[in-house]
Amino acid sequence: MLLKNIICIISFFCLSFTVFGQSGFKAKAFTGFTLSQVQGDRLAGFDKLGLNAGLAVQFAIREKIHLGLEFGYTQKGSRGNLIFNVPTNKYITHLQYFELPIFIEVKDWPIDDYFRIGIHTGLAGSYLYQGTSSIIDLDDNLVESSQFTRTEISFLLGATYAFTKRLQLLIRYSRGLNKFYKSPNVNTGGLLNYNWTVRAEFLF
């Protein structure tokens, strides 16, 4: 069922590239990286490097106000940092999500027929495709990845800077609104995702 839904979503976005471009919609592809951390795992810092890639469409509600919808693959999690004497091969959580963000973007600084900058905010629904963890809880028990919550809702806030009409840079901060693991034996009562995304976007 999951694979069928993913294929349907990808097909919708591919159709957007050929149809929506002529009806007020703009389509784009994006690729970049994430820097993540997990609240509640005894670690600090955005030390987990991951991948973010996918497709998106945007619709101009007004000249400077756009509604955006994305379908992407995102890696999140946490990793030890040698600066704090935590071995990088231990206390690591690796989470692979399929994400569906929806957001409102306000654009400004017009250049010819496009805008140079934009600021956006919204929510993202995510499905945990695969997750592994070597985190130890406060009672020195291994956190079981089989107990991870499969769905996540997160808040996002970001900005874009357009170098040309077709190429722009996006920087985004997102924070989970629900814990992907709940336990009284973990700091803060569970594990919560925090994430920075930096990526290039290619508009069609």
Amino acid, single-letter form, for residue 139: D
Distance of CA 178 to the CA centre of its chain: 15
Dihedral (CA of 30, 155, 33, 196) sign: positive
Q: Are 43 and 87 in contact (CB under 8 A)?
A: no
| Per-residue pLDDT of the chain in tens (204 residues, 90 and over written 9) | 545 555 555 555 555 544 444 556 889 999 999 999 998 887 778 889 999 999 999 989 899 999 999 999 999 999 876 445 544 445 689 999 999 999 999 999 999 889 999 999 999 999 999 999 888 777 777 888 888 999 999 999 999 999 999 999 999 999 999 999 988 888 778 899 999 999 999 998
Q: How far apart are alpha carbons 89 and 75 in whole angstroms? A: 17
Q: What is the pLDDT of residue 138?
A: 76
Backbone angles phi, psi at 138, to 5 degrees: -65, -20
- Burial of 163: CB neighbours in 10 Å, binned 0-12, 13-18, 19+: exposed
**Confidence (pTM):** 0.85
Q: What is the chain's Cα-based Rg? A: 18
Structure tokens at 75: 């890696």
Q: Are 65 and 106 in contact (CB under 8 A)?
A: yes
Q: How far apart are alpha carbons 99 and 52 in whole angstroms? A: 10
CATH of 2-203, one of 1.10.1040.10, 2.60.40.420, 2.40.160.20, 3.40.50.970: 2.40.160.20
- β-bridge pairing 167-176 and 181-182: unpaired
Q: What is the pLDDT of residue 193?
A: 96
Cα atoms found within 13 Å of the Cα of residue 148, Cβ hemisphere only:
28
Q: Are 154 and 176 in contact (CB under 8 A)?
A: yes
Indicate the length of the chain as a whole number: 204
Query: Is 18 strand, coil or helix?
Result: helix
